[in-house]
A and B are shown apart, each in its own frame.
Chain A
């Protein structure tokens, strides 16, 4: 028998998708039965009270959570987010219900033992409820009391060799795609660089000194499975400089219907025979492809690596061999100024350990500029908008490049300065009038 009536939440379970309400009810029931005789360190009925407070929020049309808090683990400014309920008498089980962020492994590879261990820990010292994973990419532990924070941190660090993730005005836990481990399109080892940066920038991850959050995300190819170009202040997107490798025999096999296009993902009905002109050549955004007399050709200088042809015919087309990444700065979700996509700052850079070139010429100059000039709660993308892309080029020392211009005349941020022009901006008006009437 549920502790609180939840008619409004029950409706959420009637849709066609799995519901978080069902998950919460299941955990509430499991805690009530406690078949494994767990020594719960926070109220056993916290999940019931969580359902109760959520139902009340729906009823009132307002939240019953307060904003933020001073709690944390000693010396860390991130990883713990204070959450307090403003109806503690009605819902004592969630009076304190803090969130903990746990740094996910690069590529999100887990052993079942590790998953069991973190779940056991959180069942005993927290609510048992998790997000796998939060939008930033971390494992999110939802709900525990203040005295449990240090205990959880100690057990994570000492027993599970595991650190907390980033929150607040910190570097957030770097996130990457599954990369070369399972994907033939990975142009660099996303997991290696993600892990390296997580270790290298520990201080930035745990001790907040930025104006606001800062995110690194790594995508192995332009398919952008972690959407770094839309969400990361610095996005690393894999790319290559040479030609797409073409296997003409496999192209013929796709055209002849022997190989299913899109890796066979278009199923469920008869989609008709594969039409290379309609489905590939005519959809190429730069028009750099030609298919004539059974031969496919790609004009590489025109190709901007949209990945469409490779996605449709993965057996016939493969990424080039001269691989590295492009770096984009300033993407963010909409809070101020609306959502922004990343702007290209480095068209191509080799991604090789120990990544010194990336750290010293890209990341650290950008951080120094943003830390000094950024307003409180201003993301890098907003600072770039306020002070101009040219300023970003100045602080990093990168030369303006036509590839940084989104479309001609839309963002002409490359201006001459007086000291760059012979003779400066002054002119002899009499000399000018000799040739031009008023």
Chain B
């Protein structure tokens, strides 16, 4: 799978999800239909390209589309 196709798949799938903006790495792997290691390379590139962003509780990390969700506003970061 090339990067553009992977990005398209992720963005489309995440935009479709209603009421949920943060996703586990495993959820993204399932969307891509890839094993974790190749999926990691594609997902990392999406972070660098600022398509996705990390959310961390300190113990767990989740992924979301950049700027989506109430976190940005709630934290006075916008």
Q: Residues on A close to B: CB < 8 A? A: 66-72, 75, 77-78, 80-82, 84, 88, 95-96, 99, 146, 167-170, 207-213, 368, 371-372, 375-377
Minimum CB–CB distance for B50 against chain A, Å = 9
Q: Which residue of B lies closest to A206 (CB)?
A: B44
B13: chain A residues within 8 A (beta carbon)? none
Q: Which residue of A lies closest to B47 (CB)?
A: A75
CA distance A342 to B53 in the complex (A): 34
Q: Are A68 and B72 in contact (CB under 8 A)?
A: no
A211: chain B residues within 8 A (beta carbon)? 24-26
19 inter-chain pairs at a CB distance below 8 angstroms, sorted by A residue, are A70-B53, A70-B55, A71-B75, A72-B54, A77-B47, A77-B61, A78-B61, A81-B56, A82-B75, A95-B76, A167-B56, A168-B57, A169-B25, A207-B47, A208-B54, A209-B40, A371-B37, A376-B26, A377-B60
Interface size class of B (residues with CB under 8 A): 20 to 34
Given contact pairs A146-B77, A210-B25, A68 touches B56 in the complex (Cβ within 8 A):
yes
Q: Is B36 in contact with chain A by the CB < 8 A criterion? A: yes
Q: Which residue of A lies closest to B66 (CB)?
A: A70
A209: chain B residues within 8 A (beta carbon)? 25, 36, 39-40, 43
Q: Is B19 in contact with chain A by the CB < 8 A criterion? A: no
Selected from B39, B44, B56, B60, the residue in CB contact (under 8 A) with A69 is B56
CA distance A207 to B54 in the complex (A): 10
Task: Give 10 closest A-B pairs by Cβ, nearest first.
Answer: A68-B57, A168-B61, A208-B61, A371-B36, A81-B58, A209-B40, A169-B61, A168-B56, A77-B54, A376-B24
B25: chain A residues within 8 A (beta carbon)? 169, 208-211
Q: Which residue of B lies closest to A69 (CB)?
A: B75
CA distance A333 to B72 in the complex (A): 32
Minimum CB–CB distance for B3 against chain A, Å = 16
CA distance A80 to B36 in the complex (A): 24
Selected from A70, A212, A368, the residue in CB contact (under 8 A) with B72 is A70
CA distance A67 to B26 in the complex (A): 22
- Cβ contacts B38-76/A at 8 Å (1 or 0 each): 011001100110000111111111001000000110111
Q: Which residue of B lies closest to A72 (CB)?
A: B54
Given contact pairs A169-B61, A208-B25, A212-B60, A69 touches B36 in the complex (Cβ within 8 A):
no
Q: Are A207 and B40 in contact (CB under 8 A)?
A: yes
Residue from B26, B55, B56, B57 whose CB has the most chain A CB atoms within 10 Å:
B56
B54: chain A residues within 8 A (beta carbon)? 70, 72, 77, 168, 208
B18: chain A residues within 8 A (beta carbon)? none
Given contact pairs A78-B61, A167-B56, A168-B56, A70 touches B77 in the complex (Cβ within 8 A):
yes
Q: Which residue of A lies closest to B55 (CB)?
A: A70
Selected from A168, A368, A371, the residue in CB contact (under 8 A) with B59 is A168
Q: Are A71 and B77 in contact (CB under 8 A)?
A: yes
A377: chain B residues within 8 A (beta carbon)? 60
Q: Are A78 and B77 in contact (CB under 8 A)?
A: no
A375: chain B residues within 8 A (beta carbon)? 26
A68: chain B residues within 8 A (beta carbon)? 55-58
Q: Are A213 and B26 in contact (CB under 8 A)?
A: no
